[in-house]
Amino acid sequence: MTFFKKTQALAKYNRKYTGKSFKNNIDTAYSQLSIDDCAKACNEELGFECISFDFCYLHGDCRLSKSKVSSDPVDFFDSNECDVYEKDSLFHYNEYPTKSYIDKKDLKVENIKTASDCASKCDNQRDIHCRSFNFCPELSLCFLSENHVLSDSEDGFIDDLVCSHYWRDYLSDFSFTSSANISLEADLVFSGADVEQCSFLCVTSDGFNCKSFDYCPQSKKCLLNKGLKPNSTTPTQNQDFCFNYRNEKKNFFLK
């Protein structure tokens, strides 16, 4: 049985197993954490996309994984004090709960019971680069869209459905490539951003073909690059440890 936690840090995690812990697929580990701090560590992991974690309450052991939780119980140890959690499909979506217009070009999927099911369809869709969806619970319909942004235009749209709009975080358009001490120089530099804001700045940069960015958590610097590789690692006084992300969109323009 899957349980859905409602505490702040665990708000978008499902508990997949009780009394189990990972046998393998462990990418990093911590100890002496609370379960909320473990979930926060998974949320804020920059070196890989953290999908799941196990947590053992006795010593606060927390182990993060970039893999989805296996459906086979033999992949886990029996551990009475441990639980296994996985991010819900809605984790990287933001809800805009209002009546939204449905683009007639959007991909319609039927027999969808929950917004999480619709999010999973969007994540795994290969026919389009799905960046958002509209979920219409009364009709069990899901409409997948290539656009991040909710349209407020009625032209070419279906307007007789009551649906909620969900759009993916802009960071989902990027893949982590590497981390290194680099010079804090780039084609465009912003200060005071977090990694989500940095990805948004790259995607929405006006008149600038941003293909990658470096995010530096200590200095909170956001470096936008026209190229796909991190900038120079030649030693300079103005350096920081940064994480490079590459834009995975086929076409480098905002939709």
Cβ neighbours of residue 229 closer than 8 Å, sequence gap 6 or more:
212, 244
The two tokens of residue 253 are: 């323009």
pTM: 0.69
Give the span between the Cα atoms of 33 and 149, in whole angstroms: 38
Mean pLDDT value of segment 72-92: 92
Comma-separated ranges of CATH 3.50.4.10 domains in the chain: 3-87, 93-168, 172-247
The two tokens of residue 166 are: 């969900």
Please provide the CATH number assigned to the domain covering 172-247: 3.50.4.10
- The amino acid at 46: L
Give the span between the Cα atoms of 119 and 104, in whole angstroms: 19
How sure is the predictor about 153, in pLDDT bands with cuts at 50, 70 and 90? low
Give per-residue pLDDT as tens, 99-136: 667 888 899 999 999 999 999 999 889 888 898 999 99
Give per-residue pLDDT as tens, 207-228: 788 999 999 999 999 999 987 6
- The amino acid at 141: L
Give the span between the Cα atoms of 172 and 175, in whole angstroms: 8
> What is the per-residue pLDDT for 253?
36
> What is the per-residue pLDDT for 250?
42
Give the span between the Cα atoms of 20 and 36, in whole angstroms: 18
Give the span between the Cα atoms of 189 and 68, in whole angstroms: 35
Q: For 3-87, which CATH superfamily applies?
A: Hepatocyte Growth Factor (3.50.4.10)
Please provide the CATH number assigned to the domain covering 93-168: 3.50.4.10
Q: What is the DSSP letter of 160?
A: S
Q: What are phi and psi of 43, to 5 degrees?
A: -60, -40
Give the span between the Cα atoms of 24 and 195, in whole angstroms: 29
